[in-house]
Chains A and B, each alone.
Chain A
Amino acid sequence: QVQLVESGGGVVQPGRSLRLSCVASGFIFSSYGMHWVRQAPGKGLEWVAVIWSDGSNKYYRDSVKDRFTISRDNSKNTVYLEMNNLRVEDTGVYHCMTLSYWGQGTLVTVSS
């Protein structure tokens, strides 16, 4: 069955960096665009970034542009989110998803 497993979350101070990973299985990873969506504590879902199946296109929400970078390695069935210059407002659970399937998420806490 389809599985998306995120990792890499943790507690970091403002201004620091984290790299999230999402390992996919159960489907042809290289055929699907991959998204990151986040959820602040007690809040709704917020789209963050997307990368095309072949990595040719990437889009970001305005608030993370120039700080976050999405990438993928189709040989490893993995999508990444490199997050730099983190802010308190970036705190939340980060899910990877394909539009059809969602991972369970990894918690990022940005706090001094």
Chain B
Amino acid sequence: DVVMTQSPLSLPVTLGQPASISCRSNQSLVHSDGNTYLNWIQQRPGQSPRRLIYKVSNRDSGVPDRFSGSGSGTDFTLKISRVEAEDVGVYYCMQATHWPPWTFGQGTKVEIK
């Protein structure tokens, strides 16, 4: 199974400041079709998960442009350019390249300082 490791697991941030979450996999997430199936998922308190980013860097519809994804191979990053109050929650990376199983990182809890 592909192991996804996120850091940090807790991220206190100041409103308006940037935030960055790292996600590493224990094997390359480049699929034989040339795509890299790495998603970022947001779960706000008390809400269901929501996909923010797919295939490393593509924002889903309605996702603010302050969210961006980058990376390649085994190293990936989710960045929030200026954190807003509504960004509080837990963020997960998820790989969909090598399955089954589809696997998630442990989650990174973003909170306001």
Contacts and interface: CB of A to CB of B under 8 A. Distances in A.
B99 A59 contact: yes
Contacts of B60: 100
Interface size bucket, A side? Answer: 10 to 19
Given A59-B99, A99-B39, A44 B92 contact: yes
A102 interface: yes
A72 interface: no
A92 B26 CA distance: 27
Contacts of B50: 102
A105 B50 CA distance: 12
Given A45-B94, A45-B107, A99-B96, A105 B102 contact: no
A99 B53 CA distance: 11
A102 B48 contact: yes
B70 interface: no
Given A44-B107, A45-B107, A99-B96, A50 B51 contact: no
Interface of A: 35, 37, 44-47, 50, 59-61, 95, 97, 99-105
Interface of B: 39, 41, 43, 47-51, 54, 60, 90, 92, 94, 96, 99-107
Given A44-B107, A45-B107, A47-B104, 11 more contacts: A37-B49, A45-B92, A45-B104, A47-B100, A47-B102, A50-B99, A97-B49, A99-B96, A100-B60, A102-B48, A104-B47
